Each structure stands twice: as structure tokens, then as C-alpha cells.
Amino acid sequence: MQAVILAAGKGKRLLPLTEDLPKGMLPINGKPMLQIIIEQLKAVKITDITIIVNYCQEKIIDYFKDGAQFGVKIRYAYQKEMNGTADAVLQAEPCVNSNQFLCIACDSLFEKGLLERILKHNTGVITCKAVKDHKRYGILKTQGSQVLEIVEKPELPPSNLANFSVYLFPKEIFAACKLVKPSLRGELEINDAIKTLINQETKFTYEVSSHIMDIGTFEQLSEAEEVARELGL
């Protein structure tokens, strides 16, 4: 099993902290977000890691190097154009040779047991959390344990389960990413690649996390430090 971490973004909402530092290197209680994820991957014996980089990539590469000092093997793939998550995932294709791989956004914070639970599945997996404000998220439409669709910011939500950026993907996701067209905001969205696979009858299930959060604002960054202490990260 391999892992891909998406870390090319700038984190504009976290300026000026990200003026000369990529979002994934922002510290949570003194430890870079990326390091927290890498340590959790190592804990479930995933040591073959590809990090997708662009903005201030040298800060990431200089810190982690080849990963040896963290007990893992790290490769880097460069996302030339910052045009969406589907394109970011696609940059990892030359590095991934396993039938499935974990894909994690660098600003994701989650409990220690989540990855272990995800790896028990033999289908694609989408991590989710129950939310009240459904208009801020992509919401899962499910049938039993199966994900039928991710509905973006719906007026009438099909569930209260919001999509968060920790996935178990089949390798076929790369072919699906190549078919993605720009969304209304002009980006190549990974949710559209997932939709393509579901339409092709690739099964996706979901794993619920009560603690997962993404860190894109100052308020979330402050909350993440408290959550990380509670979770022992």
C-alpha cells in the first residue's frame, strides 16, 4: 500500500502565515501538518509516500528530504498548474504501482485510528463526518454502506455526512482524473473523478470520523491545535 499527500496549495486564507511557507508546513503545536500525517501513515505501516508539491516546494523537500529520518520513503511530484485536486492526484500516477492507495490532503487532521479503519475495506473509501451546516460541504448520498454520489453544497441534503479529503482510491482513479472537465469555478475536481468511477460501477463505501477537520482558516488552525492535543497527535 502506498500513500499520496496533496500539498501543492498556498493556503491563501492563511496569509500572511503562508507568505513564504506552504500550508502543509504550518505547525500544529510545533509540528508541521505534513509530519503529523506522515507519522500516522507510518503507524499503519505505510512507508511509501508521494507528496504533491508546487508552492514553496523547497520548504517541504528541505525538511523531509527522502523521508529516511522519519522512517519512510518519500518521493515528490510537481503539479505544474494549480488547477484542482483531480490534476494534483494525477501527478502521482508515475509513482503509484499498488492497486489501491491512500490519498490525503495536507490540511487534514484526524484521529489515530482512522487510517486503520479505512484500510480494512476492499472498496474505494470516502471519509466523512456528520455536520449541521450542509451548505458548506459536499454531502454524501448513500444506500446502505455504499456511496452513490457526492452532492456539492445542496439546498436539500441527501444525508448529514460531509465529504472530507482522506480517501482510499483504486488505481483506476487516474484514468477517471484524465476525463474530468473544469468545474464552474474553473478547477478539475476530484469529486468529478469519483463520480465517473461510481458511474462505471466502481464501489465506494464511507468511513465516519467524529474528529476529522480541514485547516483552511485562522479559526480552524486554532481549533486544530486544541483537537491535536486532545487526540495526542
Report the pLDDT value the prediction gives residue 200, as an integer from 0 to 100: 95
pLDDT, one tens digit per residue, over 145-173 is 999 999 988 888 999 999 999 999 999 99
Q: β-pairing, 48-53 with 146-152?
A: unpaired
Check residue 50 and give its pLDDT. 99
| pLDDT above 90 as % of the chain | 89
Q: Mapping DSSP to helix (H, G, I), strand (E, B) and coil, where does residue 53 land?
A: strand
Q: Are 48 and 73 in contact (CB under 8 A)?
A: yes
pLDDT for the residue 78: 97
pLDDT at 191: 94
pLDDT of residue 135: 84
10 pLDDT above the threshold of 90: no
Confidence of residue 75 (pLDDT cuts 50, 70, 90): very high
pLDDT in tens, 26-56: 999 999 999 999 999 999 999 999 999 999 9
Strand blocks (E) in 100-189: 100-105, 108-109, 124-130, 138-143, 146-152, 161-170
At the top level of CATH, which class does the domain 2-231 belong to? alpha beta
pTM equals: 0.95
Residue located via cell numbers 474530468: 180
Q: What is the pLDDT of residues 116-133, one digit of tens each?
A: 999 999 999 999 999 988
Give the pLDDT confidence of 190-211 residue by residue, as tens digits: 999 999 999 999 999 999 999 9
